[in-house]
């Protein structure tokens, strides 16, 4: 390898051609040793990348501040989204300049050759004048894109949720969507708004879940409708919600209505000695938050299943009630459901049960119920509420910004 | 621009020209192995470490030398392979498919040069690209340059030699960096944070901007699958830290000198409502100071290339960015309202449409400060400093 190769007269195209066909068969480079070809290519490759510059914005590139919103990618109704004022090749087109093409999203480097001057292999610099001349000689390629910009999003004067609450929403969307309805309802009650970056995911979820529609509509407000108008997939969001939210034929409506006295029914089922999933069915049909008394019964019942030996002895629940025996599956579902729906202040009860010393005779047995799972879920939800309500309790906090 | 490739190639041609060379960086095991004997084996100091420590140091040096030999052998094979492909033509390689590339990458992993192995694997993507001939030749040229850089690292300036080592896959410990790197204590604005899954590890990249130093730093942390690299700093928040920059040609990577201080600042007190409701002041001078135009980012990228020819992009904040949509090409652009220029919007991953709309929503149709990576192919947003605060996209 010699230094002469750095100043090789061959340009990039010649080197690429030779590399493509084989270095010994280059049309203009002749027989060039691979090392020398790569030496020259290294200098040119770096200089080429260094020479790429952003494209100048010309008035012709932009839509008229977008009285028409931008059409979504891949939309079949892209009419009106390209307010072309000058056709390709127009003399009043954008000032040509070196740029990469706009095949966005793919990360492909696709340099428009007409707008890119080969850099001087000695200095590694490009020659703007040459680039401009080349671009003018190929006006069809040099014409810039016709861009559309959406109207500005409507201002939402409500305060923004805290960053911690936004992080929690991120976590819920990523992996704990079962808590989303509760989060949305709580956030709606605070009167805050949520960062617009969450709008696309919430709109996608709302499309298939009418139960959260009202909360999402309220939380997203005008900015949400602004975004929904830009994507035909979210057109449903612009229509008034159907009333009632669920059709009468929905499966959830076919099950028996929740019992009026949840606590009494729970106590009755707990008193049955047979293995049954009735208790699980009862709690799964209970909408919203449960009455505290009923949940206390359930928590103590689940706690009693921590130690099988206790199960055999029988735990005293509410005055000598015998302990029902349920399948492991039902117990597991029960403990999850308690964690997800129980009133949050009952977290203390779970904590107390966890701190209780093992009952006599139960030390050597393995627990079959993990109260920590209930506690984790309750803590997650408690943190969720805390973050959302922290702003309301911080009087010194300024009003939400708006543009 | 002062193209570093020319410098590397010139030094490769004239290895005796080591006028710019300074003392080797302590973390350079390979260079240390090539240093004069007096430096390799300093006389025992009665006040210095004991014989046991010396023995351990000798063993570590021997391991480093062995690794350097393996890397040299692996890169020698790679050089032959590159030459063969150029000689027979890249079309032959394209026809051969991924297997040959994968085989070459495996050999480089065996040679303990994981950085080069990663570059070789990227050849598969280059060969599948629409502009595959240009891209593949570019990747070949950069690999060739890296081989030359490693072979003649003793003649390179220290920062460039350090860059070559890192690109090869030789890393330094935090203690080594703390010993030789540049210390910068500052209030650091968290510009962005991103977790990716690479090489069976979760990699967290956190970008910071120094309020006084006006420097951008990149922190890296790793965790095995299923575990977290630790609490992520709040994007848009500020951390008071002393960082140590890894001494390289284009210093960007840094380590935290006192990790405990960072941990204390990153984890908010859940009992403090004020902390939970803390909002990022996106109009703060610190945030706006990090802003630049796309032209300035292009200049910064070119300047970085001049000292680190393998750079793929530079981080930066576009102070007044907007999005534009080109319906004819189904393409999105990032518009710089200050510099009156634009580049394509590049979005990694599979959920491209959702990310585009997230970005559109976060920008809210108004000029916002947009942090991301500028590359020749376009701008990849990482954080939007907009109406919704500082949000990662």
Beta strand B238-245 with B182-198: parallel, antiparallel or unpaired? antiparallel
In this model, does residue A254 exceed pLDDT 50?
A: no
Q: Mean pLDDT across the stretch A386-400?
A: 60
ipTM for the predicted complex: 0.81
Three-state SS at A104: coil
pLDDT of residue B364: 87
pLDDT of residue B263: 84
pLDDT of residue B287: 56
The mean predicted confidence, pLDDT, of chain A is: 68
CA distance B296 to B300: 6
pLDDT of residue B103: 94
pLDDT of residue B12: 55
CA distance A201 to B355: 10
Q: Across A305-309, A339-343, B370-374, which has the greatest mean pLDDT?
A: B370-374
pTM above 0.80, yes or no: no
A391 or A187: which leads in pLDDT? A187
Whether the CB of B5 is below 8 Å from some CB of chain A: the reply is: yes
Burial level of B51, CB count in 10 A (0-12/13-18/19+)? exposed
Chain B nearest-CA residue for A70: B325
- Facing B360 at nearest CB: one of A37, A230, A402: A230
CA distance A143 to A60: 10
In Å, the largest CA–CA distance within chain A is 100
| Residue A326 pLDDT grade (very low, low, confident, very high; cuts 50, 70, 90) | low
B83 or A302: which leads in pLDDT? B83
Q: Which 3-state string (H, E, C) describes chain B?
A: CCCHHHHHHHHHHCCCCCCCCCCCCCCCHHHHHHCCHHHHCCCCCCCCCCHHHHHHHHHHHHHHHHHHHHHHHHHHHHHHHHHHHHHHCHHHHHHHCHHHHHHHHHHHHHCCCHHHHHHHHHHHHHHHCCCHHHHHHHHHHHHHHHHHHHHCHHHCCHHHHHHHHHHHCCCCCHHHHHHHCEEEEEEEEEEEEEEEEECCEEEEEEEEEECCCCCEEEEEEEECCCCCCCCCCCCCCEEEEEEEECCCCCCCEEEECCHHHHHHHHCCCCCCHHHHCCCCCCCCHHHHHCEECHHHHHHHHHHHHHHCCCCCCEEEEEEEEEEEEECCCCEEEEEECCCCEEEEECCCCCCHHHHHHHHHHHHCCCCEEEEEEEECCEEEEEEEEECCEEEEC
In this model, does residue A365 exceed pLDDT 80?
A: no
Long-range contacts of A228-234 (CB under 8 A, 24+ apart): A228/A203, A229/A69, A230/A69, A230/A70, A230/A71, A230/A72, A230/A150, A230/B357, A230/B360, A231/A72, A231/A203, A231/B357, A232/A72, A232/A75, A232/A77, A233/A72, A233/A204, A233/A207, A234/A203, A234/A207
Q: Residues B182, B151: contact at Cβ < 8 Å?
A: no
Q: Which two tokens stand for residue B331?
A: 């393409």
Q: Mean pLDDT across the stretch A272-298?
A: 74
A292 or B239: which leads in pLDDT? B239
User: What residues of chain A lie within 8 A of the CB of B358, using their CB?
Assistant: 197, 199-201
- Facing A71 at nearest CB: one of B305, B327, B362: B327
Inspect the interface and report whether the beta carbons of A41 and B140 lie closer than 8 Å. yes
CA of B182 vs chain A CAs: smallest distance (Å): 27
User: Which region holds residue A314: left if phi is over 0, alpha if psi is between -120 and 50, else beta?
Assistant: left
Distance of CA B320 to the CA centre of its chain: 25
Inspect the interface and report whether the beta carbons of B13 and A145 lie closer than 8 Å. no
Q: Residues B279, A162: contact at Cβ < 8 Å?
A: yes
Contacts of A64 (CB under 8 A, 6+ apart): A83
Beta strand B253-256 with B216-223: parallel, antiparallel or unpaired? parallel
**DSSP code per residue over A192-251:** -B--GGGHHHHHHHHHH-GGGHHHHHHHHHHHHHHHHTT-GGGGGGGSPPPSSSS-TTSH
User: What residues of chain B lie within 8 A of the CB of A167, using their CB?
Assistant: 234
CA of A191 vs chain B CAs: smallest distance (Å): 15
Cα angle: A389, vertex A390, A396; to 5 degrees: 125
In Å, the largest CA–CA distance within chain B is 77
| Residue A334 pLDDT grade (very low, low, confident, very high; cuts 50, 70, 90) | confident
pLDDT of residue B197: 82
Contacts of A316 (CB under 8 A, 6+ apart): none
Q: Which two tokens stand for residue B313?
A: 């992009």
Whether the CB of A392 is below 8 Å from some CB of chain B: the reply is: no
Beta strand B291-292 with B253-256: parallel, antiparallel or unpaired? unpaired
β-sheet bridge partners, residue B188: B210, B239
Distance of CA A328 to the CA centre of its chain: 35
pLDDT of residue B311: 94
Give the pLDDT confidence of A83-109 residue by residue, as tens digits. 333 332 222 333 333 333 333 332 222
| Residue A356 pLDDT grade (very low, low, confident, very high; cuts 50, 70, 90) | confident
Q: Residues A369, A329: contact at Cβ < 8 Å?
A: no
DSSP state of A148: E
Cα Rg for chain B, rounded, in angstroms? 23
In this model, does residue A234 exceed pLDDT 60?
A: yes
* Residue B296 Cα distances to B299, B300, B344, angstroms: 5, 6, 16
User: What residues of chain B lie within 8 A of the CB of A19, using their CB?
Assistant: 86, 89-90, 133, 136-137, 140
Per-10-residue mean pLDDT, chain B, length 393: 58 48 40 39 55 85 92 96 92 88 94 94 90 92 96 92 94 90 94 85 92 93 86 86 94 93 74 51 55 92 94 93 86 88 86 84 89 93 81 83
Cis peptide before A244 (omega within 30 of 0): yes
Inspect the interface and report whether the beta carbons of A74 and B330 lie closer than 8 Å. yes
Give the pLDDT confidence of A154-181 residue by residue, as tens digits. 999 999 898 889 889 989 998 899 899 9
């Amino acid at each position: 390898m010699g230094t002469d190769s750095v100043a090789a007269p061959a340009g990039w195209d010649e080197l690429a051609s030779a590399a493509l066909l084989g270095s010994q068969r280059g049309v203009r480079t002749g027989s060039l040793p691979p090392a020398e070809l790569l030496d020259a290519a290294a200098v040119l490759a770096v200089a080429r990348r260094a020479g790429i510059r952003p494209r100048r914005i010309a008035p012709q590139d932009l839509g008229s501040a977008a009285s028409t919103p931008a059409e979504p990618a891949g939309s079949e109704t892209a009419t009106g989204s390209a307010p072309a004022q000058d056709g390709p090749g127009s003399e009043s087109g954008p000032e040509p300049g070196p740029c990469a093409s706009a095949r966005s999203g793919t990360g492909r480097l696709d340099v428009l050759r007409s707008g890119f001057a080969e850099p001087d292999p000695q200095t590694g610099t490009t020659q703007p004048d040459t680039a401009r001349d080349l671009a003018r000689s190929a006006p069809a390629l040099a014409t810039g894109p016709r861009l559309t910009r959406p109207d500005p999003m409507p201002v939402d004067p409500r305060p923004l949720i805290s960053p911690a609450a936004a992080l929690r929403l991120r976590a819920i969307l990523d992996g704990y969507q079962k808590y989303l309805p509760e989060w949305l309802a709580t956030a709606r009650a605070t009167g805050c708004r949520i960062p617009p970056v969450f709008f696309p995911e919430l709109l996608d979820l709302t499309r298939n879940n009418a139960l959260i529609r009202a909360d999402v509509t309220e939380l997203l407000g005008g900015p949400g409708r602004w975004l929904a108008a830009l994507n035909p997939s979210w057109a449903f969001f612009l229509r008034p919600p159907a009333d009632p939210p669920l059709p009468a034929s929905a499966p959830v409506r076919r099950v028996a209505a929740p019992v009026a006295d949840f606590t009494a029914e729970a106590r009755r089922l707990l008193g049955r000695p047979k293995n049954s999933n009735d208790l699980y069915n009862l709690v799964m049909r209970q909408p919203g938050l449960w009455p505290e008394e009923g949940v206390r019964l359930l928590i103590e019942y689940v706690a009693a299943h921590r130690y099988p030996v206790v199960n055999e002895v029988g735990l005293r629940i509410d005055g000598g009630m015998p302990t029902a025996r349920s399948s492991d599956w039902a117990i597991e579902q029960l403990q999850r459901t308690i964690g997800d729906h129980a009133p949050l202040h009952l977290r203390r009860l779970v904590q107390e049960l966890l701190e209780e010393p093992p009952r006599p005779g139960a030390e050597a047995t393995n627990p079959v119920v993990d109260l920590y799972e209930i506690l984790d879920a309750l803590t997650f939800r408690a943190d969720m509420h805390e973050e959302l309500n922290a702003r309301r309790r911080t009087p010194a906090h300024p009003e939400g910004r708006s543009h | 621009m002062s193209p570093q490739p020319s410098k590397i190639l010139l030094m490769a041609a004239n290895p005796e020209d080591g006028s710019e060379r300074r003392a080797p960086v302590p973390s350079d095991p390979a260079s240390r192995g090539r240093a004069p004997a007096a430096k390799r084996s300093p006389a025992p100091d009665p006040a210095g470490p004991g014989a046991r420590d010396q023995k351990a140091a000798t063993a570590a040096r021997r391991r480093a030398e062995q690794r350097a030999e393996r890397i040299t052998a692996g890169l020698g094979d790679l050089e032959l392979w590159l030459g063969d492909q150029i000689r027979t033509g890249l079309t032959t390689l394209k026809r051969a498919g991924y297997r040959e590339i994968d085989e070459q990458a495996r050999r480089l992993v065996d040679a303990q040069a994981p950085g080069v192995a990663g570059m070789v694997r990227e050849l598969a993507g280059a060969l599948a690209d629409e502009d595959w001939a240009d891209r593949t030749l570019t990747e070949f040229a950069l690999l060739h340059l890296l081989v030359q850089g490693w072979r003649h690292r003793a003649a390179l300036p220290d920062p460039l030699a350090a860059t070559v080592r890192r690109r090869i896959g030789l890393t330094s410990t935090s203690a080594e960096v703390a010993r030789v790197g540049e210390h910068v204590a500052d209030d650091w604005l968290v510009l962005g944070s991103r977790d990716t899954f690479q090489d069976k590890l979760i990699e967290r990249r956190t970008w910071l901007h120094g309020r006084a130093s006006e420097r951008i730093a990149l922190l890296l942390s790793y965790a095995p699958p299923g575990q977290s690299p630790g609490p992520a700093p709040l994007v848009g928040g500020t951390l008071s830290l002393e960082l140590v920059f890894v001494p390289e040609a284009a210093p960007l990577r840094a380590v935290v000198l006192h990790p405990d201080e960072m941990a204390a600042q990153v984890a908010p007190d859940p009992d403090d409502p004020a902390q939970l409701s803390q909002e990022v002041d996106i109009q703060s001078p610190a945030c706006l100071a990090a802003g630049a135009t796309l032209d300035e980012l292009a200049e910064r990228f070119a300047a970085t290339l001049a000292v680190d020819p393998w750079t793929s992009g530079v981080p930066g904040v576009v102070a007044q960015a907007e999005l534009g949509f080109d319906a004819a090409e189904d393409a999105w652009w990032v518009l710089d309202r200050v510099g009156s220029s634009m580049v394509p919007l590049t979005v990694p991953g599979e959920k491209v449409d959702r990310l585009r709309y997230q970005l559109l929503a976060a920008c809210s149709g108004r000029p916002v400060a947009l942090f991301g990576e500028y590359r020749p192919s376009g701008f990849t947003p990482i954080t939007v400093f907009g109406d919704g605060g500082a949000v990662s996209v």
